[in-house]
Amino acid sequence: MGKNIKKNELHNITGMKAGIALCHGCHKTLAAIGKNGVTAKLCPRCGSSIHFRKPASIARTWALLITAAILVFPANLLPIMRVYSMSVPDDSTIMKGIIYFFKEGSYGIGLIIFTASILIPLFKITGIGLILFSIHFKWKTKVKQRALMFRFIQFVGRWSMLDIFVIALLQAFIDFGILSSIAPAPAATYFTGVVAATMFAATTFDPRLMWDEYQNQGG
């Protein structure tokens, strides 16, 4: 019985409890002293500051997430692309472009743009927000599911820039002077801000915080 208890305790122990710190720059493991102190303030290999957890991770993630949530509205309501035909401008929002592709029968393209430009940013904001609330209210249940969701958020983050890439390509290929040309509209800046803010939010967040309370409660 004693051996089983020791095995379970060893299985549930965290690096912080074991006195081991991980460099956030080069991922070198370092021996630590006590609960809050480390053997050195800087990593001997890359020179980065050593911390058990990313400093102010929750506050920074909240700030970036709130910024992204605010920028979502102008990004979707304002025109993201301006098409000039015979010098006459025609503005198009993200949703207007999606509706156009569906009306033309290009359901695949419309679905891809709808997923990458609307669903993914909203999913990232909602998902990270849910994780932050779970840490604040110390939810112990479904920690593994939230960890998998966070990994998925990190994976799909790069695809949110699809609209910006499409506009950049169209602007380069469709440039016939006064006959026809394409230029980015104000929403492109806000949309880029949404993508950047959510990507930085996922980067600044320390996923180990999800497990700290779980381990403290004997999970």
Among all chains, which residue has been given the structure tokens 């840490």? 135
Tell me the per-residue pLDDT of 185-211, one tens digit each, with 9 for 90 and over: 888 889 889 988 998 999 899 888 887
Q: Which has the higher per-residue pLDDT, 22 or 63?
A: 63
**Which is more confident, 151 or 41?**
151
Average pLDDT score over the chain: 78
- pLDDT tens, residue by residue, 98-146: 888 788 888 887 888 888 888 888 999 999 999 999 888 887 778 888 8
- The beta strands (E) that lie in the chain are given as 20-22, 29-33, 37-38, 81-85, 88-92, 180-184
Percent pLDDT > 70 in the chain is: 71
Going by the DSSP 8-state scheme, the letter that residue 157 receives in this structure is G
DSSP 39: S
According to CATH, where is 1.20.140 located in the chain? 56-216
Q: Say which CATH class 56-216 falls into.
A: mainly alpha
- Is 47 strand, coil or helix? coil
Residue 180: phi and psi, rounded to 5, are -165, 135
CA distance 69 to 89: 29
DSSP alpha helix (H) spans, 78-119: 94-103, 107-114
CA 207 to chain centre: 12
Q: Are 79 and 93 in contact (CB under 8 A)?
A: yes
pLDDT at 61 (0 to 100)? 95
Residue 31 identity: A
Cβ partners under 8 Å of residue 41, min gap 6: 49, 50
Would you say residue 5 has pLDDT above 50? no
**What local confidence, expressed as pLDDT, does residue 1 receive?**
39
pLDDT in tens, 70-82: 999 998 899 888 7
Write the pLDDT tens digit of every residue in 42-58.
777 887 777 778 888 99
Mean predicted confidence (pLDDT) in 17-21? 73
Residue 94 pLDDT > 80, yes or no?
yes
* 3-state secondary structure (DSSP) of residue 218: coil
Q: What is the pLDDT of residue 171?
A: 60
User: pLDDT tens-digit profile of 163-175?
Assistant: 677 666 666 655 6
Using CA atoms, how far apart are residues 62 and 69, in angstroms rounded to an integer? Answer: 10
Higher pLDDT, 12 or 152: 152
Q: What is the pLDDT of residue 42?
A: 77
